[in-house]
Chain A
Amino acid sequence: MTRESLVLSRRTGFLFLLPALFFVGVFIIFPFVWVFWLSFTNQTLTGVTAVEPQFVGLANYLRLFNLESWMDRGEFGNALVISAQFVFGSALIGQVGLGLLIAWAFHNRKGAVRETVYTLIILAWIVPDVVVAFTWMAFLDRDAGTLNAVLGLLNLPRVDWLIEHPVLSIILYNTWRGTAFSMLLFSSALASIPPSYMETAEVAGASAWQKFKDIVFPLIRNHVLTDVILITLWTFNTFTPFLITGGGPAYKSELVSIHTFRIAFQYFEFGRGGAIAVTMMLVNLVLALIYLSVLRRQEVRR
């Protein structure tokens, strides 16, 4: 029988934990449970079904995954595809890829160039969402936007980004926004590789690409993995592209998160919105479980 540890007694320790338990219980666990229940009803905000929602079983889900209609514009399948493109482009290639590239390019250099580039990238990350949305709306504007101005200078045709390529636009935006995190993470991972490893490889005659492939990447592989999972999770759940394209035009950039919003807060169909939310959470769950198992393996190895 072990008695109480001394720095903080068990009872005080529990008391300290109580407020956090309250918040987690009310704002995380409870919504999690409730949204499951909601998804099986036809709950709405107004009308009869607001006061007397009925249990409708899997009706909401069947509508979501109705293979005949789900790929129509404005339906759930469409949103899934768009989210998939968004995540692949802006999370995997964009943030992780770009972050890794920048971290690798700069990992041995110091000085003004590195500081400037890093500062620019971090600035893009810390400026509030709303402000960034406006700057990107201005940046991508067909007539006056900076991007088109630059293209014009290079004698390339002007493009109406937000109308013709909404998904690409939000991919660019989100990459721009989030690269800093991956870059910092990889920077510190690369910095933790003892210089002697690289020097030995150089003396042995390895090229930069061989160094990266044979020595660096195996050592940072775990960081790459956790980064990919985290970024995927965050990108999948982000709502801010709504501020740039509104999900349009004609639902062409409607991510799952924006789709949830439209169903729940424009049509006020909470039951159906709940079903979408549950689907989102299931995707999150898969990603989170993978993340946790990678963490666990790392802990064990340590």
Chain B
Amino acid sequence: MARVQLHDVCKRFGHVTAVESANLSIGDGEFFALLGPSGCGKTTTLRLIAGLETPTSGRIVIGERDVTDLPPRDRDVSMVFQDYALYPHMTILDNVGYPLKVRGVPRPEIQSRVGAVAESLRINHLLDRRPAQLSGGQQQRAAVARCVVHSPQVFLFDEPLSNLDAKLRLEARGFLKHLQKEVGITAVYVTHDQAEAMALADRMAVMSEGRIIQVGSPLAVYRRPETTFVASFIGNPPMNLIPCRLALADGSAALSTPSFGLDITPLRPRLAASLHNGDTVTLGIRPEHMTLCAESMPCTMPGQVYAIQPLGSEVLVLVQVDDTTIAVRLFTDDPPLQAQHVHVGLTMERVMLYDSAGRLAVT
């Protein structure tokens, strides 16, 4: 059963369209990420689900109820804000217990329920303090505690980790995922950090300029990005994108650039029918699917080493091919030299091809 559904939801602010024709179906107990650069509409979408904005058109369903016209308090959701929004004038106990207080839960019960949640989040020793006295990580857990305490149908997270430093962020990621799986409540999570979305989500939606571009599991999106935008957004370093010209014939296919030609005949059966001979296409290949060859071999491109970045676990070699700088991931103790002329080989099965509009043209 889908826990959250968006049907053709649009949101306009005056002349600006923040969200356009959003259709989503989020499963019960799923950890669903809304991912995209700033301004793509992901936060607006989250706020629409929360009820903090009303859609210009479309319908929103939570559980079995159409909540489109309901205010937030009637939707049975909870939300963690980017700045945590812990009320500075209340103790942590009062903060976490606030959703219970406004629902008329008697004080002793509030204390016991808050205590239980606080204990599982390891902040029960902080209940008497004010938010200003807590560290960033503790504040974040308090905000999560407030979110959990009244067992809503859906958790909503608006970039909750962006105010933490890098190390804390990694810890918090693990703890959030664990928590969500334990309580089994559907979660919708907004982030601009693709690594975070990949690490946390069961499924995600990549958004850009108000539109949902692709929905799928992290691995599916990683392996088959459906547009060049998604390809360059997911993955660090992102997928290499090289503009080429397609030479298409009945039994063969090849890509050519000013400096090289690449025979891609094995891919010929999978090429979309919309491609024609002479089309401008974009070749997409991930850095880990490339390697350096010493000699000119069938599947290679010539280039010149632009920079070498030893990262400890691997070496990232940036190679200048025509006008594009591509990244190659190497696991070697013997990296090439700066400005060395090299040949870059690629794994044919992993090649993605995008048409002139940036859409995936390979099945």
Contacts and interface: CB of A to CB of B under 8 A. Distances in A.
11 contacts: A1-B56, A2-B54, A2-B56, A3-B54, A4-B54, A6-B51, A6-B52, A6-B53, A6-B54, A6-B71, A6-B72
A102 B71 CA distance: 54
Interface of A: 1-4, 6
Contacts of A3: 54
A6 B54 CA distance: 9
A1 to B, nearest CB: 8
Contacts, number: 11
B47 to A, nearest CB: 10
A1 B56 CA distance: 7
A6 B71 CA distance: 8
Interface string B27-67: 00000000000000000000000011110100000000000
Contacts of A2: 54, 56
Contacts of B52: 6
Nearest to B71: A6
A2 B10 CA distance: 12
Contacts of A6: 51-54, 71-72
Contacts of B56: 1-2
Nearest to A6: B52
A285 to B, nearest CB: 32
Contacts of A4: 54
Nearest to A7: B52
Interface string B61-97: 0000000000110000000000000000000000000
Given A1-B56, A2-B56, A6-B53, 6 more contacts: A2-B54, A3-B54, A4-B54, A6-B52, A6-B71, A6-B72
Nearest to A9: B71
A6 to B, nearest CB: 6
A167 B238 CA distance: 75
Nearest to A1: B56
A116 B143 CA distance: 46
A18 to B, nearest CB: 23
- Give me the 4 closest cross-chain CB pairs, A-B, nearest first: A3-B54, A6-B52, A6-B71, A6-B72
Nearest to B52: A6
A2 B72 CA distance: 17
